């Protein structure tokens, strides 16, 4: 079922993003008086088609959903069948340079507008995310050397406010890749003052960005509540009186900060009584539990361990990020701008070799992420859509012939020269641009397959 959900989530995302992109071209073309002949989602053989409007524009849903296009009346594409004199004024090629540029730029801009609206909706409705509160860092990690301690809340990175764990992750990517110190504004646990700490990342490598870089820095989410989930019938936990929803307080007098604290204590005491204190409502209850002795498996193979038959859940502190309508729109605009700039910088670093091209993802990885986000919930799925929409907008604005950005470069050169570029120049550069795009797709697909094999 998850495979089907992944496929549906991927196709839905792809269809929406392509539709919005092409709709941008279509609407501005119509606004500029250009006749649109076809609006296609996908390439290849049409699966469905219908005609709309006085121009009888053909709307098509095609077999290969990896793209789309808007075909406009154009003299360059009508050499075999000349355009009637009465419609020449509606040809794309006859429009002023400014209008042609606006039509081309409208596709990527539509993707950015979609991202702004999605982020604005999420900010207005409110999103629950883990708070940027850190656990005790492991020794000899950058976080430990910086002086971070359990319970510290990170308020900002390099002066930019941080309100969630995800924002912290994004804020630390730049200093990580640049291998420099990040200035953290930190509030101590219990509100006992705040200060600035320097998180020195000069000893880390750009390859760390491909892994759990927060963990490598020594940054982990602070422990929150550990709650009892389901219980095994006949297990020691159920027999001792533990109930689903109980919050674990301590085991043998030691506080329980994470599920692993209890798990380790249970494993170490097969057949021996341990004292578990739980919070149930307003009351704290001490429960003696005797873990059942069982043969260990996996990493515990070859020894006897304890087991009580309880599923445990770590519940970290969550923050609800919510804004008013206008503030949500501003936050959506800012987030879209920040992610666009960040995407461009990452692409630039890939070109200069500062960042591995293994970070380039293709349709397989995108499909997998679509499925994962859909399973998490519609909040995660909308965030995923916004991020991919930004990536699509940025990619199309790259100055590569055959992409929208390449056409904008053509128009810039035309403005400088004062006349259209030669047909030969256009053909040669577009073939080169197509080769670049095919190479990028091949690298992305190779990365996808490598991730699948390595997973």
| Alpha-carbon span 64 to 45, nearest angstrom | 8
Sign for the CA dihedral angle at 212, 218, 221, 225 comes to positive
Q: What phi-psi label fits residue 147: left (phi over 0), alpha (psi between -120 and 50 degrees) or beta?
A: left
| Alpha-carbon span 228 to 263, nearest angstrom | 12
Q: Which of 153, 253, 163, 256 is nearest to 195 (CA)?
A: 153
Tabulate helix, strand, coil % of the chain (nearest 5): 50, 25, 25
Taking each helix axis as running N to C, give the angle between helix 363-376 and helix 2-31, from 0 to 180 degrees, rounded to the nearest 10.
110
Burial 220-249 (b: 16+ CB within 10 A, else e): bbbbbebbbeebeeebbbbebebeeebbbb
Q: Which of 181, 189, 185, 156 is nearest to 170 (CA)?
A: 156
Question: Which residue has tokens 């008086």?
Answer: 33
Q: Which of 179, 249, 230, 253 is nearest to 209 (CA)?
A: 179
Q: CA distances (Å), 258 to each of 195, 218, 223, 226, 389, in order?
A: 27, 17, 6, 6, 37
Q: CA distances (Å), 202 to each of 123, 178, 180, 417, 433, in order?
A: 34, 8, 5, 47, 37
Indicate which residues carry an active-site annotation.
22
Q: Are 118 and 17 in contact (CB under 8 A)?
A: no
| Alpha-carbon span 38 to 114, nearest angstrom | 23
| Alpha-carbon span 423 to 430, nearest angstrom | 11
Q: CA distances (Å), 438 to each of 17, 328, 368, 397, 433, in order?
A: 21, 38, 22, 17, 9
């Amino acid at each position: 079922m998850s495979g089907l959900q992944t496929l549906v989530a991927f196709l839905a995302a792809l269809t929406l993003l392509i539709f919005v992109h092409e709709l941008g071209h279509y609407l501005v073309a119509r606004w500029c008086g250009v006749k649109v002949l076809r609006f296609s989602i996908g390439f290849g053989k049409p699966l469905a088609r219908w005609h709309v409007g006085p121009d009888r524009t053909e709307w098509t849903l095609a077999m290969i959903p990896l793209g789309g296009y808007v075909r406009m009346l154009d003299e360059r594409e009508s050499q075999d069948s000349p355009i009637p004199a009465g419609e020449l004024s509606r040809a794309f090629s006859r429009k002023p340079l400014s209008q042609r540029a606006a039509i081309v730029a409208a596709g990527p801009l539509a993707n950015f507008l979609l991202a702004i609206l999605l982020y604005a909706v999420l900010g207005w409705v409110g999103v629950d995310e883990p708070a940027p509160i850190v656990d005790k860092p492991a020794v000899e990690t950058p976080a430990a050397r910086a002086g971070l301690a359990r319970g510290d809340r990170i308020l900002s990175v390099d002066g930019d406010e941080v309100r969630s764990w995800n924002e912290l992750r994004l804020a630390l990517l730049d200093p990580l890749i640049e291998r420099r110190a990040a200035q953290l504004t930190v509030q101590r646990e219990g509100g006992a003052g705040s200060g600035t700490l320097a998180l020195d990342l000069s000893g880390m490598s750009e390859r760390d960005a491909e892994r759990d870089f927060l963990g490598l820095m020594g940054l982990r989410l602070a422990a929150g509540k550990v709650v009892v989930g389901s219980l095994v019938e006949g297990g020691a936990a159920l027999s001792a009186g533990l109930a689903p929803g109980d919050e674990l307080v301590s085991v043998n007098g030691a506080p329980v900060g994470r599920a692993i604290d209890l798990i380790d204590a249970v494993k170490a005491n097969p057949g021996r009584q341990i004292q578990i204190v739980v919070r149930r409502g307003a009351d704290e209850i001490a429960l003696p539990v005797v873990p059942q002795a069982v043969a260990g498996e996996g990493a515990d193979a070859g020894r006897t361990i304890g087991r009580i038959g309880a599923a445990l859940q770590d519940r970290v502190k969550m923050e609800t990020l919510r804004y008013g309508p206008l503030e949500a729109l501003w936050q959506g605009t800012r987030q879209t701008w920040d992610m666009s700039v960040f995407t461009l910088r990452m692409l630039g670093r890939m070109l200069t070799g500062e960042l591995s091209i293994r970070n380039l993802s293709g349709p397989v990885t995108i499909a997998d992420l679509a499925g994962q986000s859909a399973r998490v919930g519609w909040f995660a799925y909308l965030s995923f859509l916004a991020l991919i929409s930004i990536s699509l907008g940025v990619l199309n604005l790259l100055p590569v012939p055959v992409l929208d950005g390449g056409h904008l470069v053509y128009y810039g050169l035309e403005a400088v020269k004062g006349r259209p570029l030669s047909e030969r120049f256009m053909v040669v550069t577009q073939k080169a641009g197509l080769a670049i795009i095919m190479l990028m797709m091949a690298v992305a697909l190779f990365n996808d397959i490598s991730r699948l094999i390595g997973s």
